[in-house]
A and B are shown apart, each in its own frame.
Chain A
Amino acid sequence: MVAEVFETFREWIDNRHEYARAWKERAGNKVVGYFCTYVPEEILYAANILPVRILGSHEPPTVTEPYIFAMYCHLCRDCLAQGLKGRFDYTDGIVEGQSCLHLRQAFNAWRLHIPTDFAYYIHVPHGIQNPHAIPYLTQELAKFKKALEDWTGKKITDEDLDRGIRIMNRNRELMRKVYEYRKLDNPKLTGLEAMEMVLSSQMVDKEEHSKLLERLLQELPNRKLDRNPGIRLMIIGSEDDDRVFMKNVEALGATFVIDEHCTGSRYIWDDVIPHEDRLFAIASRYVKRIPCPSKDWPEFTRLMHSVRLAKEFRVQGTLVIQNKFCDPHGIEIPPLKEALKSVGVETYPLEFDVTVPWGQFRTRVEAFLETLTGLEELF
């Protein structure tokens, strides 16, 4: 039964476009593609719109060359390539929640070159550590809400917003409960399975996803994974949906027991806390959530959070996934390394591109795992 649930998550990821098309036909409502997890999906659900995350396909994005200079990360180019190839042609609009320059380019190139009914950019503040960010974002969200109302021709009421908040909070809460099972000595799920759980939530109706999570949580306590968990690893990075990499590393005698990136825990860690002013409540969540490094200054709050996660999940080592050309995440590598080392956790950075040279990476990961087991002392 548990296997069936994870199989469904995989199918949803592999057939994301078919799912969205079928949803659209069934529900008769709009589908909106979004690039970054700073888009407040609560408001889209409130408008009965299905938000789907635009992610790449890990094929070299040849077609994007006229629109984005190749010095920008593979993710933003891969995302744009999906649009240019027509794979998201069922979407009625695109929304971006201000984060990095790279995805901003993908959004604007899409807006300029791919016909779309609705293209909206929410200026989510970068200054999330300053007290004015929440009132500012509240007003930005009011503007966004109005734009959605004008587009759909339907007012978004407080009840609608409550519903949107409930849907998102419930889904996040359930996934966090599943994450608890990763703390065990013998985790009930692999890192790959956890990634597929979170990834699939970004592609489907979260109410449907939550139903499956509820089933999973009933069965998970009884699950016995027929594998040696091996070394307890953490994966930290920019956006990472490289399932092949996760699978390959876990086959070397390790388990990713926790992650810190935006197709993982960063997406689900924080909820909207109810407040009379619903937009204020949503704004508060997006300002106070575990931040993308592009917004995390002057203090290193994300680093401190990563250290807490490493302790809570009893991590032995960390693989840092650096998307080539990503400045915000790349900047944090040495301070991150130092912070984790201070609690006895070693890190190993790997540079990711659109495809991954597993041969090279395997050698490095194996060597890293060996240093964690102390085998090198035998020689």
Chain B
Amino acid sequence: MAQIKEYPTEPLKIWNEAKQLRSKYYEDYLTAYERGGLRWAGGAWSFSIIPAGLGEDVYCLTGEPHGATIAFFKDFAAKCHDAVEAAGFPRTLCSYMRNYWGSILLDKYVLADGTVVDGHPAPDFIWQDHICCSHGKWYQVAKWLEEKKGKKVPMYCVDVSVGYPMDKPLEEYKINYIVQQLNDGIEWLEKVTGRKYNDKLLCEAVWNEIKATRLWAEICALNQAVPAPLDEKSMYSLYVMGTLMKHLPECVAFYERLKAEVEDRVRRGIAAVANERFRVITDTQPPWGFLQIFREMEKYGVVSLGSLYTYGLIGMWEYRPDGTWTPKELPPRKPQTREEALKMIVEWTVNRPEWAHFYLPEAKTKMMLSIVKQWNVNAVLLHYNRGCEGLSVHIAENRLGLQKAGVPVFPFEGNMGDEREFDFTGTLARLTAFFASMGLKN
């Protein structure tokens, strides 16, 4: 039997910094008032650059990453689900949302390391976006729940449902629709916070976000190397910074350092998985409470290089004229005025790869096939995620598209945030069968 090649591996040097950055984020939100700061809650998609113009002491709690953090700590997540169901909500709703509501109902707050503190820190205002059926309503109910606890939390929500620019840019009136809402939002923020808005901070935040999202894409592009320097499970702890604070200079600095380290790993042939012999990508959020499934796959020499989700929720990409999918070019210069900043960030954001599938399944299939080709992928594992309608929408069409192109596909059902809906043993058994059909053995 042929000897299985073993690549050299090393842990990531930046790992502890990543953990600390994330811990600090959740602690800062909790302790914001100690520094005279403001707190807001909303989606990770939510144009966090806008509240950034209120000052450098504005802290946010983005809902989806927090829902994922809760899901990782299954015991606490289970309590959240119970609380939400007891309150009369169906269990089939978005699981991130239910985790977040559960926290409010239990009046508890979970930190990055799983410590559960008493008292859910209510935001001063809600700044939300509406990308799926649930997003706007998530915080509408959060607001309703906070009111029952005696706190009136004003809410603003931006509608981004204008479509996706597949082969040509979106029309001016669509961009304007979002820009106008952001403009109105700034006035609204001034009213509810009593603070004067700072356009210079806005322009900084926009440029930081654009740089951070391009940097993350560049880091993901490095995973085209064989062996892959990063594995998806590790990447979750790195990409998450973009979901929490992509508008902050700390995020840009972190990604710059990370990129340098990954480039070095590629130069020296350092692998994420020593026995890498089969490369896969996944799709949608993983079942957060069961990330050990990635380590199980590694026993078969399987490395997950990432996914359109890991690459394209935060990373910004575009197609070159030659058809290569590549990190998006930065705009020519940093915005100088509010008008420029708003238009720039809206045009940047609507090109988000993880926005495509909300409208055009074929656009997502195209990008997935580009990843398969350029990253040298052997198979695709599709997470039919019952916890998220938004990211699972049209996933069956993507499966058909990938199969039509001759790519082996393994779909499995699960739930990113509700541990009751992922059958770890059963999925592992199916995965084993899939790997066996691919000629892989443990």
Contact = CB atoms under 8 A, between A and B. Distances in A.
The short answer to whether A and B are in direct contact, CB under 8 Å, is yes
Contacts of B360: 108
A121 B157 CA distance: 23
A328 B87 CA distance: 16
B92 A126 contact: no
Interface in B138-191: 138-141, 143-144, 155-159, 161-163, 171, 173-174, 177, 180-181, 184
Interface in B33-70: none
A309 interface: no
Given A112-B361, A330-B92, A333-B88, A127 B392 contact: no
Nearest to B148: A338
A61 to B, nearest CB: 13
A331 B93 contact: yes
Given A69-B392, A130-B184, A331-B134, 5 more contacts: A67-B397, A121-B163, A298-B140, A327-B133, A334-B87
Interface size class of B (residues with CB under 8 A): 35 or more
A335 interface: yes
A83 interface: no
Interface stretch (A99-107, A246-254, A278-286): A99-107
B157 A298 contact: yes
Nearest to B137: A331
Contact of B141 (A125, A331, A337): A331
Given A109-B397, A132-B181, A328 B89 contact: no
B389 interface: yes
B291 interface: no
Interface string B111-155: 000000000000000100010111011111101100000000001
B107 to A, nearest CB: 17
A244 interface: no
Contacts of B389: 71-72, 101-102, 325, 327
B400 to A, nearest CB: 6
The 4 closest A-B pairs by CB, nearest first: A127-B159, A297-B136, A334-B88, A330-B90
Interface of A: 65-69, 71-72, 98, 100-102, 104-105, 108-109, 112, 121, 123, 125-127, 130-133, 136, 139, 143, 293-294, 296-300, 322, 324-325, 327-328, 330-335, 337, 349, 351
B256 interface: no
Contacts of A100: 133
Contacts of A72: 389, 393
B22 interface: no
B375 interface: no
Given A130-B181, A298-B157, A108 B384 contact: no
Contact of B395 (A65, A69, A334): A69
A67 B92 contact: no
B390 interface: yes
B397 A332 contact: no
Interface of B: 87-90, 92-94, 97, 126, 130, 132-134, 136-141, 143-144, 155-159, 161-163, 171, 173-174, 177, 180-181, 184, 358-362, 384, 386, 389-390, 392-397, 399-400, 413
A125 B178 CA distance: 11
A322 B137 contact: no
Contact of B173 (A136, A327, A328): A136
A60 B136 CA distance: 32
Given A102-B389, A327-B389, A331-B93, A126 B397 contact: no
B90 A322 contact: yes
Nearest to A128: B159
A98 B156 CA distance: 21
Contact of A98 (B92, B138, B155, B161): B161
Nearest to B386: A71
Contacts of B97: 331
B435 to A, nearest CB: 23
B181 A127 contact: yes
Nearest to A331: B137
A112 B386 CA distance: 23
Contacts of B180: 132
Contacts of B184: 130-132
A108 B164 CA distance: 14
A165 to B, nearest CB: 23
Contacts of A67: 396-397, 400
Q: Which of B132, B156, B360, B396 has the most CB of A within 10 A?
A: B396
A100 B133 CA distance: 6
Contacts of A349: 88
Given A72-B389, A337-B88, A66 B400 contact: yes
Contact of B177 (A112, A136, A299): A136
A209 B121 CA distance: 56
19 contacts: A69-B395, A72-B393, A100-B133, A101-B132, A101-B390, A104-B359, A104-B393, A105-B393, A108-B361, A112-B362, A126-B159, A127-B159, A296-B137, A298-B140, A298-B155, A299-B140, A328-B137, A332-B137, A335-B144
